Amino acid sequence: MLHSDFSLLQYNTFGIDEQAKFFFSFSDKQELAAFLKNEFRKDLPYFVLGGGSNILLTKPFEGTVIHPENKGISITEERSNDVFVAVAAGEVWDDFVQWAVSNNLHGVENLSYIPGCVGASPVQNIGAYGSEAKDAIYRVVCMAVEDQQERVFSNEECRFGYRDSVFKHEEAGKYIVTEVVFKLQKNAPFNLGYGSLRNSIDESTATLQIVRDTIIAIRKEKLPDPKEIGSAGSFFKNPVVPTEQAEQLKQSFPDMVTYPAPDGKTKIAAGWLIDSLGLKGFRIGGAQVHPKQALVLTNTGGATATDVTNLASHVRTKVSDTYGLTIEPEVIYL
Ligand code: EPU
């Protein structure tokens, strides 16, 4: 369905009121293909918007916002312990997680209550509590914008990294994710290594539903509920630096929170960096550093995108001045 001069207020969790020149939602692949073939569409820029939980709208968008609304979750194959599940891009991510937990399938329970839609999960390889979408994604089915052909990316071809994939680099803007196939397990150990989970769950009595409920409770405690307070979750990525640099920093700042990362690198908790500078609760206009989780910037009501970008710049400058580290936004500025 195509709309013009469309307010995106209901389509971004930050709650910023900007317009798109056109807004197109599709319920199936045929509808998407027909739209992409259209000559008028080809002259305009476009942007794929899922749940709008990781974007900051900074100006009106003079093109077409494409929004997946296709639905469907189905088991396509079972191979001993593995169950392959095809999920339409327009499914709400957390509805899929609940479906998996209800069907006793392991693999995405630690990613409970992450806002957004399934189609976005491979693009930025969503992650939380020691799990990432890449651990469960088997393949990603896309439609090429140019010729509307189907293209399937295997897990390896997606070249997943921390909040990263090929869809943010070489393939950016060329494909629209229509379906994601996950490989889940009937039986698997729980992944309870992450600090706050380890202390809250007794592994011997854990069930998928207990893990899910515990994660939802932890997230509700720390992260603002987008239904009540506008935000895009973590605003910044945790910086990943050479381990020597992290070790040097730790000599000056022994409390700094760090985690081992692949390729001999170390991830530093940006929330800790920001918190250590006393910035929790700091405001510019209607934008605020969340008082319970410093990595999250919120809209306390009526924030403009400028308030948010000014606050983000202030936080980045302070972190850079004290620690010599650059923290990059996880949120995409549109
Ligand atoms: N910390 C502080 N002060 C703060 C925030 C954090 O000292 O204000 C410390 C914590 O005590 C902890 C460490 O920093 O030792 C890490 O904090 P937390 O466990 O809350 O996780 P995070 O690194 O801040 C990441 C993800 C979240 C995800 C959580 C839980 C990114 C950018 N963020 O946050 O994802 O929910 O881990 O796994 O990687 C999101 O991407 O939108 C998001 C919410």
DSSP 224-264: --TTTSEEEEESBPPPEEEHHHHHHHHHH-TT--EEEETTT
Q: Is the CB of 234 under 6 A from ligand 1?
A: yes
How many A from CA of 156 to the centre of ligand 1? 27
CATH class of segment(s) 73-220? alpha beta
Q: How far is the CA of 145 from the centre of ligand 1 (A)?
A: 35
Nearest residue (CA) to ligand 1, atom 32 = 237
| pLDDT tens-digit series, residues 117-130 | 999 999 999 999 99
- Ligand 1: which of 229, 234, 266, 327 to mutate, most ligand atoms within 8 Å of CB? 234
Residue-by-residue pLDDT tens, the chain, 334 positions: 899 999 999 999 999 999 999 999 999 999 999 999 987 788 899 999 999 999 999 999 999 999 999 999 999 999 999 999 999 999 999 999 999 999 999 999 999 999 999 999 999 999 999 999 999 999 999 999 999 999 999 999 999 999 999 999 999 889 999 999 999 999 999 999 887 888 899 888 999 999 999 999 999 999 998 889 999 999 999 999 999 999 999 999 999 999 999 889 999 999 999 999 999 999 999 999 999 999 999 999 989 999 999 999 999 999 999 999 999 999 999 9
Please provide the distance, in angstroms rounded to a whole number, between the alpha carbons at the two ends of the chain: 22
CATH of 2-68, one of 3.40.50.1100, 3.40.1710.10, 3.30.43.10, 3.30.70.2740: 3.30.43.10
Residue nearest (by alpha carbon) to ligand 1 atom 9? 272
Number of the ligand 1 atom closest to the C-alpha atom of 129: 38
- Alpha carbon distance 106, 46 (integer Å): 36
Centre of ligand 1 from the C-alpha of residue 132, in Å: 14
Phi, psi of 264 (to 5 degrees): 65, 25
- Minimum CA distance residue for ligand 1 atom 7: 272
Q: Rounded to two decimals, what is the model's pTM?
A: 0.95
Q: Does ligand 1 lie within 6 Å of residue 167's CB atom?
A: no
CA distance 214 to 301: 29
Q: Give the DSSP letter of residue 109.
A: G
Token representation of residue 10? 């209901």
Task: Compute CA distances 39 → 24, 44, 108, 177, 222, whole Å.
Answer: 15, 10, 40, 21, 47
Do residues 83 and 184 touch, judged by C-beta distance below 8 A? yes
CA neighbor of 327 nearest in space, from 272, 315, 168: 315
Residue 223 CA: nearest ligand 1 atom is 44
The residue nearest atom 20 of ligand 1, judged by CA position, is 293
Question: What CATH code is assigned to 225-333?
Answer: 3.90.78.10
| CA-proximal residue: ligand 1, atom 13 (nearest) | 269
State residue 41's pLDDT score.
80
Domain boundaries, the chain: 2-68, 73-220, 225-333
225-333: same fold as 2-68? no
Q: Are 165 and 124 in contact (CB under 8 A)?
A: yes
Strand partners, 241: 266
Number of separate helices (H) and strands (E) present in the chain: 8, 20
Residue 80's pLDDT is 95
Which active-site residues does the annotation give?
163, 234, 330
238, 267 in Cβ contact below 8 A?
yes
Ligand 1 pocket residue status of 272, Cβ below 6 Å? yes
